[in-house]
Amino acid sequence: MYYNSIIETIGNTPLVKLNSVTKGIKGTVLAKVEYFNPGNSMKDRMALKMVEDAEKAGILKPGGTIIEGTSGNTGMGLALAAIAKGYKCIFTLSDKQSQEKINILRAMGAEVIVCPTNVSPEDPRSYYSVARKLNKEIENSFYPNQYDNLSNAQAHYETTGPEIWEQTEGKITHYAAGVGTGGSMCGAAKYLKEQNAAIVTVGIDTYGSVFKKYKETGIFDEKEIYPYLTEGIGEDILPKNVDFSVIDHFVKVTDKDGAIMTRRLAREEGLFVGWSCGSAVQGALEWAKENLKEEDTMVIILPDHGTRYLNKVYNDDWMRDHGFEESREFATAGDIVKNQNGNGKLITISQEANVGEAIRLMNTRGISQLPVNDGKEFVGSLTDSKILSKLIEEPALRDKKVAEVMDPPFQFVSIHNTLDVLSSVLKNKNQAVMVRDEENEPHIITQHDILMAMMNN
């Protein structure tokens, strides 16, 4: 027996019992190891489905070009389909993606365009926007848009879900997966719940993503959007493939906890997997500790392979530099807030105050940055250096309202972000960032705070 092309080998990946990292947890925990797909990730399934559905619809024609915004793995699946079917590929990636992913895509013949991470999805520089623009400009091109293309979830409804049901002989009671585009979580969850409505589904989210709060409150809260490092899970948008009705619970996982569990899976289970796999297992086991019973069977999707992360989570120096060592506590935004002097009450100024009042407040309190509010929300910011430069040009500025001279508000970041994330944000022309503590109280973190934390760590 032989296969006619590599894409015929997609699917039918094994279930492997977790034995070490699950100590102390009741029930049976199984991992669906998706790196057995030819592109070493579960994205092969939906990539092929999107291409074949586009062909059937007449959207993708012979000699066409596939253009997609990807975190790497979807691009690999699309590249495999393109090679087998004779298409060209152009992929846009955010600059937080690993160099390994970029190199692999180029090795498969794709053109890769790297775009900035810390911009909004609507920004013309974002990898979403660049992909859409290229699709409009290039004749006979196809933009799969894995986020909103329902062939994504349908692929997992048709393959992943049935495989899990058959492999567990219908004994599965809990299903857990990371949620990014939503395809693997929701497609498989829909199928499994149709077989047994009592199956509990757990979506794994990351700090800096909007999913968990949106599920629990129905509110799309931009304050939840922070920079984070984990690749492949979490979003600052609501993809159409995320069907919240089939996700029962969400668990958020920090970059650090996901990275450490990723290495544990390799060391203790022999599963050389990617970063989001560690996040999925970490989040699922956190939930399982309190909820799984002896007779239960949980299946966790492990999306991809560790080769994508050799220079990140599997690099000791990188882990050390980012404060992700298991034996060492590294400073986070929360630690900085706890160590800040004063009573912790944030000093702000109204947009209706005049600039002279702002200057006097800065001098009196010995601060260089001021968040500006309108009585309800933060609407802007002031920094002493920028006010000084403006005053030199226009001395009468001191009598104007703060609203006339203020800069955009300081960016909010997660209380759990480590110093490397905070530093990267502050390098991008930001003088300070803000965080909310467990009581939802706002705090400001300046470049000086970061420097002091680095010196003391």
* Residue 48 belongs to domain with CATH number: 3.40.50.1100
- In this structure, the answer to whether residues 410 and 365 fall within a common structural domain is yes
User: In whole angstroms, what is the distance from residue 308 CA to residue 311 CA?
Assistant: 8
- pLDDT, residue 106, reads 94
- pLDDT, residue 448, reads 79
User: In whole angstroms, what is the distance from residue 449 CA to residue 257 CA?
Assistant: 24
Q: Which ranges in 270-382 belong to alpha helices (H)?
A: 275-291, 316-321, 333-339, 355-365
- In this structure, the answer to whether residues 276 and 385 fall within a common structural domain is no
Q: At what angle do helices 447-456 and 419-427 cross, to 10 degrees?
A: 150
Q: Is residue 61 part of a domain?
A: yes
- pLDDT, residue 306, reads 95
Specify the number of domains making up the chain: 3
Q: Is residue 328 part of a domain?
A: no
**What pairing do the DSSP bridges indicate for beta strands 65-69 and 442-446?**
unpaired
Chosen domain end from 110, 142, 174 = 142
User: In whole angstroms, what is the distance from residue 233 CA to residue 321 CA?
Assistant: 22
- In this structure, the answer to whether residues 364 and 236 fall within a common structural domain is no
The label of the residue with tokens 């500790």 reads 289
- In this structure, the answer to whether residues 47 and 130 fall within a common structural domain is yes
- Contacts of residue 259, defined as CB under 8 A and 6 or more positions apart, other chains included, come to 230, 275, 278, 312, 313, 319, 322, 324
- In this structure, the answer to whether residues 229 and 306 fall within a common structural domain is yes
User: In whole angstroms, what is the distance from residue 275 CA to residue 77 CA?
Assistant: 18
- In this structure, the answer to whether residues 306 and 219 fall within a common structural domain is yes
- In this structure, the answer to whether residues 198 and 314 fall within a common structural domain is yes
User: In whole angstroms, what is the distance from residue 233 CA to residue 92 CA?
Assistant: 17
- In this structure, the answer to whether residues 36 and 47 fall within a common structural domain is no
- In this structure, the answer to whether residues 284 and 182 fall within a common structural domain is yes
Catalytic position from the list 17, 26, 32, 43: 43
Percent of the chain with pLDDT over 70: 96
Count of beta carbons in the 10 Å neighbourhood of residue 220: 13
pTM of the complete model: 0.75
- In this structure, the answer to whether residues 181 and 307 fall within a common structural domain is yes
Q: Is residue 4 part of a domain?
A: no
The three-point CA angle 174-180-186 to 5° equals: 40
Structural domain that includes position 407: 333-456
Residue 266's pLDDT band, with cuts at 50, 70 and 90, is: very high
The overall average pLDDT reported for the chain is 90
Chosen domain end from 291, 321, 351 = 321
- Contacts of residue 214, defined as CB under 8 A and 6 or more positions apart, other chains included, come to 220, 221, 238, 244
pLDDT tens, residue by residue, 313-357: 999 999 988 888 775 556 788 888 887 755 567 889 999 999 888
Chosen domain end from 284, 301, 321 = 321
User: In whole angstroms, what is the distance from residue 124 CA to residue 441 CA?
Assistant: 33
Q: Coil, strand or helix: which one is 371? A: strand
- In this structure, the answer to whether residues 59 and 95 fall within a common structural domain is yes
Q: Judge whether 43 counts as a catalytic residue.
A: yes
Q: State the CATH number of the domain containing residue 345.
A: 3.10.580.10
pLDDT tens, residue by residue, 104-140: 899 999 999 999 877 877 889 998 899 999 999 999 9
Both tokens of 441, joined, read: 């109280």
- In this structure, the answer to whether residues 47 and 36 fall within a common structural domain is no
